[in-house]
Amino acid sequence: MNRAAWLAVLGAALVALPWVAGEFYVNLTSQILIATVFAASINLLLGYGGLPTLGHAAYVGVAAYVSALLYLKLGLAHWLSAPIALIGTTLMACAFGWIALRATGLGFLMLTLALSQVLWGTAYRWVSMTDGDNGLRGLTRPSPFGISLDGATAFYYFALAVTVASIWLMAKFVASPFGAALQGTRDQPRRMSALGHNVGLIRWLAFVYSGFWGAVAGLLFVYYHKYIHPISLSLTNSAEGLLAVIAGGPGTLAGPIVGATIVMLLKNYVSTYIERWNMLLGFVFVLIIVFMPAGLVPGVRRWWAVWRARRT
Amino acid sequence: MTFALEIAGLHKAFGGLPAINGVSLGVSAGERRLIIGPNGAGKTTLFNLVTGDLAADAGAVRLFGQEVSRLMPYQRAHLGIARTYQIITLFGRDTLEHNVVLSLLGLAPERWQAFRPLARYGHLRAEARRVLQTVGLDQLAGRPTGEVSYGERRRLEIAMALAQQPKLLLLDEPFAGLSREERVAMKQLVGQIPREVTVVLIEHDMDTALDLAERITVLHYGSVIVEGSRAEVVADPKTKEVYLGD
């Protein structure tokens, strides 16, 4: 089967899901979709830019907190708070990118971590604003075009539409000339610079774009849970996203989707049976890296190619 | 007269160790200049100072009279400097064609386009094929760069530089590691570079590229010790001292 056929099957299965599955699975899939957008936004940096970020929860958390606070403190409607949250978070990515991109590799990773930890600490301590460890409750879901998203199915279709649009736009991005240049800066930054590419600006723009998609994931997250807690800004959350990308296959479009699915299944499904799901996640992750160092998607593709070559 | 490339009083030290020690030279437009010197003479460092990969401690680099010492490498590329690398620096996972397309994109306004697929830019691919043809690699255009031979990668290095239609082309040991036959082909290729392009070529082996050059600069321990026409430099006793040994 070719790629279009696979996509058609996957699309049909996703659209049909609420008819065949119960509410639990519909909600679980909604969460997988949200995690997918988050992982895909990390993949833009890690997979296509070669920039490992350990602070991407910052964009999820800030977008979620801004949206929540605008509603709770100012009573703003969603059609107004959503763009403000997206623009505000993207502006923050502009500043964070400028700081973090003074380094690459490990230095970049540590700077992204440090910046996100500042926000995590703030969310914990600034109790008058964020209610600290209690989190912010009493939030609502938006009603686009008058359609309430309070039901599991309605929200699921909303999340699906946003996710498909996000992945499509990110796919367009990496296939564009700019995306090709970004991948060039990942592989040979010095050569790219000698060829006339402004490596610093390319990386910064990719960082900002990635931060924007992180913010989109953050809005979906806060709409889904109707609740936001500092843990969304935590290192754990950033690391989960990063793990999903590495496990699925950085630098591939399907990688973050597969990776996010595995992480969310373990986190939400297996955790009802096994208390120490984190240990299992670690174990699965080690297995993937040992047997498929490039991640599941490239790994399975290679095994598939080998298998087919043997048959003919 | 303005030089295509003028270097004045250039200094660069690595941790107190001078690599380039007060180098001044001028290359006329359209000239073929050979810079030779033993290993460690500072040839590649000199190139890196011209392209901006390294920042000079002191001195000036002028391109057609314009001071470029403070500019970033990508800005210098837009002013017409292109280079090849002694240690081959290519995009190994991508096809030869994609390598050249990245080179073309470097100077094209389309490089900021972030929505329309690169595959739709037929003119870039057509141009890349044309450039690959001039270096005899058009048959391999669709092959991943990691799979072609060393000599072919050397040619691709040149193709990527030529694709940018530079005013000043810096070739860093283009013959390094090539077989005798490949050297002959490479010489032919360098000989075919249009006269509008000023070419500066580095070589540590004196005989390899001698007949390509009009003027020769001999670099030794970061300083210019001899400069002149081919005959002058070859006849100079200082050249013999550096090269032929005692």
Same domain, B235 and B174: yes
Answer yes or no: is B86 within a domain: no
In chain A, residues with a C-beta closer than 8 Å to the C-beta of B99 are none
Q: Categorize the per-residue pLDDT at B246 as very low, low, confident or very high, splitting at 50, 70 and 90.
A: very low
Same domain, B228 and B246: yes
Helix, strand, or coil (residue B156): helix
Q: How far apart are CA A36 and CA A43, in angstroms?
A: 10
Query: Are the Cβ atoms of A184 and B91 closer than 8 angstroms?
Result: yes
Number of domains in chain B: 2
Q: Is residue B108 pLDDT above 70, yes or no?
A: yes
SS3 category, B75: helix
* B122 assigned to some structural domain: yes
Distance CA A193, CA A207 (A): 18
Task: Answer whether residue B151 is part of any domain.
Answer: yes
Locate the domains of chain A by residue range: 20-311
Measured between CB atoms, which of A177, A191, A205 is closest to B89? Answer: A191
Fold of A20-311: ABC transporter involved in vitamin B12 uptake, BtuC (1.10.3470)
- Could you tell me if residue B87 is inside a domain? no
B221 touches chain A (CB under 8 A): no
**Same structural domain for residues B149 and B45?**
no
Check residue B245 and give its pLDDT. Answer: 59
Q: Does B134 map to a domain? A: yes
Query: For chain A, which residues score pLDDT lower than 70?
Result: 1
B17 and B55 share one domain: yes
Could you read off the pLDDT of B124-142 as tens digits, one per residue? 999 999 999 998 888 988 8
Together in a domain, B180 and B71: yes
> If you average pLDDT over residues B193-222, what whole number do you get?
86
Q: What pLDDT is stored for residue B236 in this prediction? A: 85
- DSSP string for residues in chain A: --HHHHHHHHHHHHHHHHHHS-HHHHHHHHHHHHHHHHHHHHHIIIIIH----S-THHHHHHHHHHHHHHHHHH---HHHHHHHHHHHHHHHHHHHHHHHTTS-HHHHHHHHHHHHHHHHHHHHH-HHHH-GGG-B-------GGG----SHHHHHHHHHHHHHHHHHHHHHHHHSHHHHHHHHHHH-HHHHHHTT--HHHHHHHHHHHHHHHHHHHHHHHHHHHS-B-GGGGSHHHHHHHHHHHHHH-TTSSHHHHHHHHHHHHHHHTGGGT-S-HHHHHHHHHHHHHHH-TT-HHHHHHHHHHHHHHHH-
Which tens digits make up the pLDDT trace of B25-44? 999 998 999 998 888 888 89
Q: Are residues B105 and B213 in the same domain?
A: no
**A46 vs chain B: nearest CA distance in angstroms?**
17
Interchain contact, A187 vs B115, CB within 8 Å: no
Query: B76 with B109, same domain?
Result: no
Task: Quote the pLDDT of residue A141.
Answer: 87
Residue B138 in domain: yes
Interface contact flag, B118 A180, Cβ < 8 Å:
yes
Interface membership of B204 toward A (CB under 8 Å): no
Q: Are residues B106 and B214 in the same domain?
A: no
B102/A contact by beta carbon, under 8 A: yes
Task: Verify whether the Cβ–Cβ distance B74 to A177 is below 8 Å.
Answer: no
Can you tell me the mean pLDDT for B224-233? 87
Å between B160 CA and nearest CA of chain A: 8
The helix (H) or strand (E) run that includes residue B44 is helix B43-51
Average pLDDT over residues B105-125: 91
pLDDT digits (tens, 9 = 90+) for A70-91: 998 898 888 999 999 999 999 9
The answer to whether position B201 is within a domain reads yes
What is the structure's pLDDT at A192? 95
Q: Does B92 touch chain A (CB under 8 A)?
A: yes
Q: Domain limits at B138?
A: 92-165
- B179 in a domain, yes or no? yes
Q: Which residue of A has its CA nearest to B104?
A: A195
